[in-house]
Amino acid sequence: MQEVVKGILGKDLTNSLLNMIKEFKRLKYDDKEIYRNIKDLNDLSIMGLYLLATENNDNMAFYIKKSYDRVLNNRVVKFRESINLDCADEFLKKLNKTEVINLAYHMNLYDLSNREYNKLSEHNKYCYKILNDYIKDMI
């Protein structure tokens, strides 16, 4: 798995992520401590951290995944708040393309068919439109 992650993220970042995992283990971090350490990382780094942790026979990958889910849940809450405050574009500008796509995916609002779209509530249709338009403009 290390070679795959190195191919995607590069040698230096992969080595840094491996060092983070070693530190998490040494300090016996649980998901709460891991969350505090990864919440400001970009999604690709967190995904790399998770993939690297899957090589071990411990709970580290589980804790990283749980922490990443918390990151995504917090992002959803902040996105919904930004919609209520009519500043969704400002919120989305703070995220990179991968993070916006992951937000939409986590909300089950990414790449929907017409049938799936029609089943959405009005509020989720509005969220879908905002996210979909923003992603299209990023391309």
- How does pLDDT run across 8-64, given as a tens digit for each residue? 999 999 999 999 999 999 999 999 999 999 999 999 999 999 999 999 989 999 999
Of residues 52, 70, 54, the one with CA closest to residue 62: 54
The confidence band for 129, taking pLDDT boundaries of 50, 70 and 90, is very high
Task: Work out the mean pLDDT of the chain and round it to a whole number.
Answer: 95
Of residues 42, 36, 137, 46, the one with CA closest to residue 88: 137
According to the model, what pLDDT value does residue 138 have?
Answer: 85
Of residues 138, 137, 83, 87, the one with CA closest to residue 107: 83
Report which DSSP code applies to 139.
Answer: -
Q: Measured between alpha carbons, how far is 89 from 75 in angstroms, rounded to an integer? A: 14
Radius of gyration of the chain (CA): 17
How many Cβ atoms are within 10 Å of 49's Cβ, its own excluded?
29
Give pLDDT tens digits for 84-109: 999 999 999 999 999 999 999 999 99
**Nearest 5°: phi and psi at 55?**
-75, -15
Report which DSSP code applies to 118.
Answer: H
Please state the separation of Cα 65 from the chain's center in Å: 10
